[in-house]
């Protein structure tokens, strides 16, 4: 199925053929289903295109590829309380709050 969307990054109209996509799948998503449930079998980068109009090529050019799993520095160790509070503080800033208070 051909899908045409306007890119939220460039403003350009883009059309992609998405193999396996049906109108029923799109209708399900547009009626409130989670996109990953409504568009089962459709790759993530094409679901992103449907939501945002950003093509896989445009994503790679402007944002860059996703890091490989091996690129993540994950030690497997539990986070200490200070690290958790730092992460919560970043979340608070993202949500427009000034700080998260630590309980004593």
Nearest residue to 3 (alpha-carbon basis) of 11, 15, 13: 15
Q: Is the pLDDT of residue 99 over 50?
A: no
Tell me the pTM: 0.62
Between CA 71 and CA 73 the distance in angstroms is 6
Res 39: pLDDT: 95
Can you give the pLDDT at residue 96? 52
Q: Please state which of the ranges 3-7, 8-12, 22-26 shows the lowest mean pLDDT.
A: 8-12
- Asked if residue 100 has pLDDT above 70, the reply is no
Helix (H) or strand (E) run with residue 6 in it: strand 2-6
Nearest to 15 by CA among 6, 24, 23: 6
d(CA 25, CA 35): 9
Q: What are 11-70's pLDDT values in tens digits? A: 999 999 999 999 999 999 999 999 999 999 999 999 999 999 999 999 888 877 665 555
- Tell how far CA 23 is from the center of its chain: 22
Give the H or E element holding residue 83. helix 81-94
């Amino acid at each position: 199925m051909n899908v045409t969307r306007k890119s939220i990054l460039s403003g350009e109209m883009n059309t992609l053929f998405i193999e396996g996509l049906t109108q029923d799948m799109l209708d399900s998503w547009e009626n409130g289903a989670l996109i990953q449930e409504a568009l089962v079998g459709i790759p993530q980068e094409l679901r992103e295109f449907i939501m945002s109009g950003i093509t896989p090529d445009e994503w790679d050019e402007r944002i860059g590829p996703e890091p490989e799993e091996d690129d993540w520095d994950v030690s497997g160790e539990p986070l200490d309380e200070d690290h958790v509070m730092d992460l919560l503080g970043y979340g608070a800033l993202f949500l427009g709050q000034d700080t998260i208070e630590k309980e004593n």
